Structure 1
Amino acid sequence: MEVVGMGFGESAAHIILFIAVVIVASSLSVMMATTVQRIAIGMEQQGNHVQKLLTTDFEIINDPENIPTKTVGTNTAYIFYIKNTGTNSFPLTNSTITVMIDGTLISPVNVTTSPTQLQPGETGEVDVIATIPSGDHTLKIVLYNGIYSTLKFSV
């Protein structure tokens, strides 16, 4: 006597395969959703950073032919005025700006600033202790975020 199969084994295999495909598809969709969320968060952070860069700006507003000086101890400090022309405030300290004269980095110990936070529309003072020979020179001040301004001046 021969036993006739009812095909249940084949149906069970199809059901198991279908369930496995659904589980794999669900796992992939969760991974893709997580990846898309991370990309969206990264894009938002990058957008905020770019917006901050675009709204941060300043100008060195000295008369290039008449740079004021003051005596600090036995040294001469050149006084440069910078105006926040952007819409964001920024820190103005010797550790958050870089000062260069004619491409030479001025040590932060030879730079003092006032105030320590420059609000939009405000003018701040950057005092630079340096020996600058007579003639034409270029000052470059770079903020912590890479925004910079230059001034060609004469001493």
Structure 2
Amino acid sequence: MASNVFSEIILFVSVLIITAAVSGILATSTHKISLGLEQRGDALSSQLTKDFEIINDPGYVLKNATDTTMIYLKNTGKSPITFDKEVISVLVDGNPVEISNTYVEGDSSVRVLGSSKVGKLHITYNTSGYHRFKVVTSEGIARTFTGEIV
């Protein structure tokens, strides 16, 4: 009789140890998932508050006298966007092109594009015709449009 009680106690303690281990693993996994969701939420929030649109006329992308093409961007997000040639990339037909200068309309010395402000990129590309332009910011936000350089 005593041996039955002793074996039941051993089984009970074993079940408690296994249950504690499983609950610890589940708690750790849940914590890691919640941290990942929080980080993804912060990144998504940043992307949603920082947004822009390319506002060029697709049928008439301007090229100035020095053979640089102008791309106009408007900040449609709530947060300012860093607007400097060092942190913005432009691809034309899938090939990277050099940005010769950036200007914020109204104040060309500013390197931040505020909410609802318009900025101008001067890119070193002068081949006439239809091209696909892609602008990518340092936050990873990208916009694409097709237009004709005239």
- TM-score (normalizing by structure 2): 0.76
Please give the alpha-carbon distance, in whole angstroms, between the structure 2 residues aligned to 1:66 and 1:27: 65
1:134 is aligned, of 106, 113, 128, to 128
Letter in 2 for 1:53: Q
2:94 is aligned, of 97, 103, 111, to 103
Q: How many angstroms does 1:8 deviate by?
A: 2.1
Tell me what 1:113 maps to.
102
Please give the alpha-carbon distance, in whole angstroms, between the structure 1 residues aligned to 2:144 and 2:78: 16
Letter in 1 for 2:75: N
Asked if the contact 2:73/2:119 (under 8 Å) is kept, the reply is yes
**Counterpart secondary structure, 1:153:** strand
- TM-score (normalizing by structure 1): 0.74
Residue 83 (1) aligns with residue 78 (2): no
Q: How many angstroms does 1:129 deviate by?
A: 1.9
Please give the alpha-carbon distance, in whole angstroms, between the structure 1 residues aligned to 2:5 and 2:102: 80
Asked if the contact 2:91/2:135 (under 8 Å) is kept, the reply is yes
Greater Cα radius of gyration, structure 1 or 2:
1
Residue 37 (1) aligns with residue 37 (2): no
Tell me what 1:10 maps to.
4
**Counterpart secondary structure, 2:68:** strand
Question: What RMSD, in angstroms, separates the aligned Cα atoms of the two structures?
Answer: 2.5
Asked if the contact 2:130/2:146 (under 8 Å) is kept, the reply is no
Please give the alpha-carbon distance, in whole angstroms, between the structure 2 residues aligned to 1:66 and 1:29: 62
Letter in 1 for 2:102: T
Aligned-residue sequence identity (percent) comes to 30
Please give the alpha-carbon distance, in whole angstroms, between the structure 2 residues aligned to 1:20 and 1:136: 73
The unaligned stretches of length 5 or more in structure 1 are 1-6
Please give the alpha-carbon distance, in whole angstroms, between the structure 1 residues aligned to 2:73 and 2:39: 29
The unaligned stretches of length 5 or more in structure 2 are 104-109
Count of equivalent residues: 142
Please give the alpha-carbon distance, in whole angstroms, between the structure 2 residues aligned to 1:78 and 1:89: 24
Please give the alpha-carbon distance, in whole angstroms, between the structure 2 residues aligned to 1:33 and 1:62: 52
Q: How many angstroms does 1:84 deviate by?
A: 0.4
